[in-house]
Amino acid sequence: MKLPVFGFGASRFVLASLVAGSHLWSNMPQGYAAYAVWAFFVLSGFLMTLVLTTKYGFDGRGIKAYAFNRFMRIFPLYWLAAIMGLLTLWYYNGIGIDLRPINGEFHMPKGLQDWAYVITLFPGIQRGGMPVPVANALAIEVGFYLLLPLMATSRGAAWLGVIIGALLNLKMGIVTETFGDRYATFLPCLLPFAVGSLVCQYRAQLERWRMPWTSSIVWMLHGVVWVFLQSWPWTWGLYVSLVLSAWMVVSLHAQPSGKVDKMLGDLSYPIYLIHTTVAAWFVCACGFTRPFATFFLPAFAATVALSWLIVILIDRPLSRLKRKPPAHVAPAA
Please write the tens of the pLDDT for every residue from 262-311.
Answer: 999 999 999 999 999 999 999 877 888 889 999 999 999 999 999 999 99
- Nearest CA-CA partner of 197 in 65, 51, 99: 51
* Neighbour count for residue 202 (Cβ, 10 Å): 13
Using one digit for the tens of pLDDT, what is the confidence trace for 128-148?
Answer: 789 999 999 999 999 999 999
What pLDDT score does 199 carry?
97
How much is the average pLDDT of 8-36?
94
* % of the chain at pLDDT higher than 70: 96
CA–CA dist 295, 293 (Å, integer): 6
Taking each helix axis from N to C terminus, what angle separates 135-151 and 190-201, rounded to the nearest 10 degrees? 40
pTM: 0.94
> Which tens digits make up the pLDDT trace of 303-331?
999 999 999 999 999 999 998 888 767 66
If pLDDT is split at 50, 70 and 90, which confidence band does 19 have?
very high
Distance CA 26, CA 160 (A): 40
- Going by pLDDT thresholds of 50, 70 and 90, the confidence category of residue 179 is very high
Q: Check residue 90 and report its DSSP letter.
A: H
pLDDT for 5 equals 60
Cα dist. 141→25, 137, 285, 315 in Å?
A: 25, 6, 35, 19
In total, the chain counts a number of residues equal to: 333
Is 165's pLDDT higher than 60? Answer: yes
Q: Look at residue 1 and tell me whether its pLDDT is greater than 70.
A: no
- CA 79 vs CA 59, 93, 117, 121, 125: distances in Å: 30, 21, 12, 10, 17
Q: What Cα–Cα distance (Å) separates residue 81 from each residue in 48, 53, 263, 273?
A: 24, 32, 19, 6
Looking at per-residue confidence, does 314 or 125 come out higher? 314
Closest residue by Cα to residue 278 from 102, 100, 33: 102
Angle between helix 32-51 and helix 190-201 axes, rounded to 10 deg: 50
Average pLDDT rounded to a whole number, residues 247-256? 91
Judged against a pLDDT cut of 60, whether residue 333 lies above it is answered with no
Reduce the DSSP state of residue 99 to 3 states and report it. coil
How far is 213 from 280, CA to CA, in rounded Å? 35
Give the pLDDT confidence of 73-103 residue by residue, as tens digits. 999 999 999 999 999 999 999 999 999 988 8
Give dist(CA 151, CA 162) in Å, integer: 10
C-alpha count within 13 angstroms, C-beta hemisphere, residue 237: 26
- CA-closest candidate to residue 158, choices 134, 209, 111, 192: 192
Q: Give me the chain's average pLDDT, please.
A: 92
Element housing 259 (H / E): helix 259-280
332 close to 58: Cβ distance less than 8 angstroms:
yes
pLDDT band at 255 (very low <50, low <70, confident <90, very high): confident
pLDDT digits (tens, 9 = 90+) for 184-234: 999 999 999 999 999 999 999 999 999 999 999 999 999 999 999 999 999
292 secondary structure, DSSP code: I
Residue type, 43: L
Q: Is 34 exposed, middle or buried (0-12, 13-18, 19+ CB in 10 A)?
A: buried
Q: Where are the beta strands (DSSP E) in the chain?
A: none
Q: How far apart are CA 38 and CA 320, in angstroms?
A: 29
